[in-house]
Amino acid sequence: MMKFLFLLIVPFLGCGKTSSSAPDKGSGIEVPSIDFPSVGNISLFSKSTTKAILKSKVENTGGASIIERGICWAIHNNPTIDDSNAPPNSLSGTGEFEVELTNLEGGKTYYAKSFASNSKGRSYGPLFEFKSESYNDAKMGSASVLFYKLNSIEVSSKIEDTGGANIIEAGICFGTTQNPTVDNNNVIADKIENLAFKVNVIDLELGKSYFIRSYVKTSKGVYYSSQGAFQTYNKGKITVNFHNQSNIPTDVFARLKTMADHGVKLLEEYTSIVKTVTIEYNTGVGTADASISGWMRWGSNTSYQKTGTFLHEFAHAIGAGTSNVWKQTLIQNGIYLGQNANLALRKASNDSSAQLKGDLQHFWPYGINGAHEDTGRESDYIITCLIIEGFKRDGVPIN
C-alpha cells in the first residue's frame, strides 16, 4: 500500500515544478526596456515683474510612469532642479503641464528647462530664455502730521503703488531745508500694513518750521511723496489776573493763587497756548465757570479751588464747550472728532483704543468734570494739558 501512495505523489510534485519554470528563450516573449522620458519645449503663458507662468509637455514617458515633472530656472544658462524649481499647477491627460515661477526680480533675464523623471532617471528639455517685466516707479501718498506733544508727532502715510518691486523699507524724512531725503533725518516704519504705516518723531526743536516727505525704498530705488510742512511752537504763556483782589478773603486768595500758579506752570510746559485769563471770586457761583473771553469765576466751595478745576475752566476759556467750533464740528453724537487731542490721549494713557467723548459743554476722560474727578495726580494733570494742546491743534479758537 505504501508503494502505491508514492507513485501518486511523485507525478503531482513534478507538475508543480514544470508550471513555475521560466519560458525558454525561444518562446517569443520579450521583457520591455525602459528609456528616459522626453520633455518638449517651453512656452511663455504670462509674466510680470515677480512671476511667470510657463508651459511644457511630457512627450514620451519612456515606457514607465512619470514620477515627477516640472520646470527649473536660474539666472545662469544651465538650470537644474538644484536651482529654483516647481511642480505643475495643472496638467492634462495629453502630458501638457503649467508651472508658476515666483520670487523673480523685475527686468532680469532668466533661463528655464522643463524636466520629467521615471524609474530610469530624469531628463531635461531644451533651454528657454525670458526676461521678467521691468519695475515701474513707486508712488507715495503725502505725509499726514499729528501732534501729541509740543515736540513729538505721529506721521502717517501710504504707498500708493510699489511699481511691482519688493518693498525694502518705508518711512518719513524731515528737515529744516526743503525736499529732505533719507540722507537727512529719517525714521523707518516698524511695520507696513496694507501698504500704510505710521512713525513717531520725538524731540523736535520748538519754534521751528520743518519740511517733510514720506518715502519708500524698493528694489528699483527710493521714491518720495510731495513735500509737506509743519510748525512746532514755543511753550505757552499764560497770564492770570485777579478781579478785585483786595476783596478776596486771604485764605481763599491763597488757595486760588496756589491753584492758578500750579495750573499755569503745567500749561506753559505742555501747551503752546498764549492766553490771558481773569479770576473773579464770586460767592454766588456754586462751583466755578468760565467763558471764551477768558473770564473765570470761582465760588466759595473749597473742593473746587484746586488745580484740576483750574485746568477744566481753562479748557472752557479756550473754546472747549464754549465755541461754535466745539459744538458744531468737534463734537458729533457724543464723540470728539479732533485727531490731535485723541492722539494725545492715546499716547499719554498708553491706550491705542482710547477715544475722547463729550457733549456741548464737557469732555471725558481727563476732563476733570467736578471735584470728584480731581485725583490730584500730576500725571493726570499732564494728560489734561496735552489734550488741551490737542484742542488747539484741532481748531478751537483760543481767543
Task: Map grid coordinates 516704519 to a residue.
Answer: 189
**Strand 128-131, strand 109-117: pairing:** antiparallel
Which residues, listed in sequence order, are joined to residue 84 by a DSSP beta bridge?
73
* Structure confidence by residue, pLDDT tens digits, 360-382: 999 999 999 999 999 999 999 99
- Dihedral, 112, 102, 224, 181 alpha carbons, nearest 10: -80
Q: What is the mean pLDDT of residues 310-322?
A: 98
Rounded to the nearest 5°, which phi and psi values hold at 95?
A: 100, -10
Q: How far apart are CA 193 and CA 2, in angstroms?
A: 95
Stretch among 20-34, 48-62, 316-330 having the lowest mean pLDDT? 20-34
Element (H, E) at 341: helix 339-349
Phi, psi of 25 (to 5 degrees): -65, -15
Cell numbers given for 154: 505721529
Q: What is the pLDDT of residues 198-226, one digit of tens each?
A: 999 999 999 999 999 999 999 899 999 99
Closest CA relative to residue 215, chosen from 191, 190, 180 = 180
Helix axis angle for 378-394 and 307-317, nearest 10°, is: 0
Three-state SS at 383 = helix
**What DSSP designation does 103 have?**
S
SS3 of residue 286 by DSSP: coil
User: C-alpha grid cell for residue 29?
Assistant: 516573449
Q: Is 165 left (phi over 0), alpha (psi -120 to 50) or beta?
A: beta
Cβ–Cβ < 8 Å for 184, 175 = yes
pLDDT of residue 28: 59
User: Coil, strand or helix: which one is 15?
Assistant: helix
- Band the pLDDT of 310: cuts 50, 70, 90: very high
Query: Biggest alpha carbon distance in the chain?
Result: 151
Which domains occur in the chain, in start order?
38-131 (2.60.40.10), 139-231 (2.60.40.10), 237-394 (no CATH)
* Tens digits of residue pLDDT in 154-184: 999 999 999 988 899 999 999 999 999 999 9
Determine the pLDDT at residue 18. 37
pLDDT at 2: 41
Question: What does the alpha-carbon distance between residue 298 and residue 309 come to, in Å, rounded to a whole number?
Answer: 9
Q: Are 300 and 249 in contact (CB under 8 A)?
A: no
With cell 484741532, the residue in question is: 394
Contacts of 354 (CB under 8 A, 6+ apart): 342, 345, 346, 365
Predicted local confidence at residue 164, as pLDDT: 87
Cell matching residue 184 = 537727512
C-alpha cell at 11: 507525478
pLDDT above 70 for 118:
yes
The 10s digit of each residue's pLDDT in 272-296 is 999 999 999 999 999 999 999 999 9
Between the two ends of the chain, the Cα-to-Cα distance in Å is: 136
